[in-house]
Structure 1
Amino acid sequence: MSGKRSIFEEVGEGEVKRGVPKGGMIDSGRRGARGAIRIWLMMLFALVVVMIAVGGLTRLTDSGLSITEWKPVAGALPPMGAEAWAEEFDKYRSIPEYQLQNKGMSLSEFQFIYWWEWGHRQLGRVIGLVWAVGFFGFLVTLKIPPGWTKRLFLLGVLGGAQGAIGWWMVSSGLEGEMLDVASYRLATHLGLAFVILGFIAWYAMLLGREERELMQARRAREAKLFGLGTGWLHFAFLQILIGALVAGIDAGRSYTDWPLMAGGFLPPDFWIPELGLRNFFENPGLVQFIHRMTGYLLLAFGVMVWLKGRRSAHAATRAAFSAAFIALSAQVVLGIVTVRYVAAWQVAIVHQIMAVVLWVLILRARFLAQYPRAQSVRG
C-alpha cells in the first residue's frame, strides 16, 4: 500500500512516470514503404494507360499481325540488317492478311506496321520489368506492408497472363481466312488490361491513406452508394468489352449515320441466318447496334447513380460521382463523333482513352463511397 499523501501534494508527484503512447495500435507495427510502393504503382498505372493507347493504335493501323512469332526474350531485339528484315517480311507474306488484303505491300510499308507491333510488345516487356524490379526490391528489403505481398504479386501474375492472352489473340489471325484477330479474343485482351488497371488504381488509392484512417472511414461507409458504384463499374466494363468487339471487326465504320442506322432503327443486316450465334461477334450491324443501345442504357443508369451520389453527406464523394458522370457524358458524345467520322484513328483513340478516364473515375467514386473522406461540420 502507498503511504499517506498530503492534501497539498501535487497529483502524480513521486509516482513513476509512464511512457506516452506514440500513435495507435493499428499503425504500431511495420508500416512498410507505403509511399514508395504507391509511387511505383502510379508508374505502373501510367505505363498500362500508355499500353492501352498503343494497343489501340496498333489495332487501328492494322499492325497487330505483322509479327508472326512469339519470342518473349529473343523478340526484344528488332530485325538487324536487310537480311533480317527480308526474313520477317517473308513470314508476314505467308499469312492470310497479306495474301488476301495487303498483297503487293512494299518493305517500307511492312516496316511501318512492324514497328507498331514491336513497340506494343516492347512496352509489355518494360511493364513486366518495372513490376519485377519493384516487387522483388520491396520484398527483399522487407518494405512491403503486412497483407500486401499477395496483392502486389497478383499484379505480376495478371501481367504474365496478359502476355499469353496477347499471343493467343494474335495467333487467331495467322491461319484460315482471317484478316484480323478474333474479336472475342481482342475483347478478352482489352478486358484484362482494364482489370489490371483497376487493381493498380484501387491499390494506389488504398495506400494513399493510413490504415487507421481507412478503418475510421469504413465506419461511415455508404453501402447503397457503394453498391451502385459497383454496378456502374461492371456496366461500364461490359460496354468496354462490346467496344472491343466493335473494333475487332471494324464495325464502327459500317454505319456512319446517327441516331439511325442506314436510315432505320435496326440495321438492314441485323441478323444473318448463316452466321447463327456468331452474329454477336461477326455481324458488324448487330455488334454496332448492341454497342449503341448499351451506351444509351449505361448513360441512363449513370444519371440515376449520379443523382444518388449527389445526396451523399460527404463533399468529396459527391464531387467524385459528378466527375464520373461528366466523363460518361463526354464518352457518349465521343462515341457519336467516332461513328460520324467513320472511326478515324484520331477520334477513335480519344474515344478509347476516355474509356480509361471513365473507368478510373467510376472506380474512384466507388472507393470514396466505401472510404468517405472526413470533413468539417461545415462540410
Structure 2
Amino acid sequence: MTAASLQGSHDSAHSRARPGWLAWWLVIVAAMVVLIVAVGGITRLTESGLSITEWNVASGVLPPLSEQAWQAEFAKYQATPEYRLEAGPAGMTLADFKAIFFWEWFHRLMGRAIGLAFALPLAFAWVRGWIPQGYRSRLIALLGLGGLQGVFGWLMVRSGLGGEMTDVSHFWLSIHLCTALITLAGLVWTALDLHALDRDSAARPAILRPLAIGASLGLFVQVLLGAWVAGLNAGLASDTWPLMQGRILPEANMSRGLFWAVTQDPFLLHFLHRWFAWIAFAALLALGWKALARENNAGKALIGLATGQVLLGIVTVISGVSLWIAVGHQVTGALLVAATAASAHAIGGRGPATRA
C-alpha cells in the first residue's frame, strides 16, 4: 500500500470520527455513576444491602410481583445473620423488608442501566467508525471497570451472608466504592480529551502532572478511609467536633497491633478520616488554584466542592450521621472526584484546544 493510500485511509477514518458526540455520551454516563453512588449511599445507610441474597443478572431485573414471591424473598433474608442477630430481634415485618429490598433492587437496576448505557452506544460507535484513533482501548478499559464493579458489588454482598457477619466487609465496600469513583474519573478525563479533540483535530491527550498525582492520591486515601468508616459504622464513634470523647486523640484498641487498629478500630479510623481530610483538602486547593491559572472552571468547582465536603463531613458527625446529610456527603465526594479529574486534566492539557 502506498503512502498516499495510507494517508487517505487515515483521513477517511478521521472524517468519520465523532469525538464531540462521544464526549457528551461519556458525560451522561458519568452523571449516572454519580447518581448510583447516591443510591449506594442510601442502600448502605438504610442497611438494605443484604436484603437480596442472590445475584440473578436477568431474572433480578423485576422485583417480586406477588405476595408469594415476596414471602419467598423474605424467607431467604431471614436465613442471613443480619436478620437473625439484628433485624429479627428488632421485630422486622414484611413491610419493613419491602422498604430495604427496594433500595438494593434499585441500586442493582441502576448498575444494569449504566452497563447498557455504556456498552450499546460503544458498540454502535465502533461499528459506525466514530471512535477516534487511540481511544478504543481506553473505552474498552472503562467497560471492563464497569464489569468489575458488578463483580465487586456481589462479592461485597456475599461477604455479609455467611458466618456471623451482620454487615458486609468494609474492605469489599471500599473496593466497590473506589472502583466506581476511579471509573468516574476515567469517564470525565476521557470525555475532556475527546472534547479537546472535537475542538482541534491536532489536540493530544492530557497528561498527569505531579501536582495532580499528589492531590489524587490524597483524595484516594481519604475516600478509602471514608469507605472503611462507613462499613464499620465508625461515623457513630463520636458526634462532637473537633474533640472525640472529650479529647483530641480517642482511645483506640491497640491490643492487636497498629495495622489492625488502623484498618479495623472504629475510633481510630474515625479520627484518621476527620484529620487526614485537611491534608487532602490542602492538596485539592493547590490543584484547584493551579487549574484556575489555566482559566478553567473546573478549578472553581474543585475549590467549592472541597470546601463544601469538609463542612458536610463536620455536619455529618455532629448530626449523628443523619441519613440525608450523610448521603449528601457521599454525593459531594463523587462530584469532588469528577472535579479533581477535570482540574488534573486542565493542568495537564497540551495545546490551545485544552482550555475549557
TM-score by length of 2: 0.89
Counterpart Cα distance in 2 of 1:132 and 1:308:
35
Counterpart Cα distance in 1 of 2:16 and 2:56:
40
2:4 alignment partner in structure 1: none
Report the Cα offset of residue 101 of structure 1: 0.5
Q: Deviations over 1:248-301 (max 9, x none)?
A: 111111111111111111112x12414763323331101101101210222233
SS in 1 for 2:14: coil
Q: Which runs of 5 or more structure 1 residues have no equivalent in the other structure?
A: 1-24
What is the aligned length?
A: 342
Pairing 1:259–2:239 present: no
Give 2:262's match in structure 1, choosing from 280, 294, 314: 280
Matches within 5 A, 1:323-362: 323-362=301-340
Worse-superposed segment, 76-85 or 162-171:
76-85
Counterpart Cα distance in 2 of 1:255 and 1:133:
46
2:3 alignment partner in structure 1: none
Give 1:190's match in structure 2, choosing from 161, 177, 182: 177
2:209 alignment partner in structure 1: 226
Counterpart Cα distance in 2 of 1:33 and 1:334:
40
Task: From the superposition, tell whether residues 186 and 371 of structure 1 become closer, same or farther in structure 2 (CA, over 3 Å).
Answer: same
Counterpart Cα distance in 2 of 1:109 and 1:193:
29
Worse-superposed segment, 141-150 or 80-89:
141-150
Counterpart Cα distance in 2 of 1:361 and 1:259:
27
Q: Which runs of 5 or more structure 2 residues have no equivalent in the other structure?
A: 1-9
Matches within 5 A, 1:1-379: 29-103=14-88, 104-210=91-197, 213=200, 215=202, 226-268=209-251, 270-274=252-256, 277-306=259-288, 312=293, 314-316=294-296, 319-371=297-349, 374=352
Counterpart Cα distance in 2 of 1:299 and 1:86:
48
Counterpart Cα distance in 2 of 1:149 and 1:182:
35
8 Å contact kept, 1:68–1:91: yes
Larger radius of gyration: 1
Amino acid at match of 1:283: D
8 Å contact kept, 2:288–2:298: no
Counterpart Cα distance in 1 of 2:12 and 2:299:
31
Structure 1 segments (4+ residues) deviating >6 Å: 25-28
Counterpart Cα distance in 2 of 1:308 and 1:80:
54
Whichever structure has more helix as a proportion of its residues is 2
**What value does the CA root-mean-square deviation take over the aligned residues?**
2.4
Amino acid at match of 1:256: D
Counterpart Cα distance in 2 of 1:57 and 1:229:
30
8 Å contact kept, 1:97–1:178: yes
TM-score by length of 1: 0.84
Counterpart Cα distance in 2 of 1:180 and 1:33:
46
Q: Deviations over 1:297-327 (max 9, x none)?
A: 22233444455556x4x323xx533431222
Amino acid at match of 1:114: F
Counterpart Cα distance in 1 of 2:184 and 2:144:
13
8 Å contact kept, 1:66–1:114: yes
Counterpart Cα distance in 1 of 2:203 and 2:116:
36
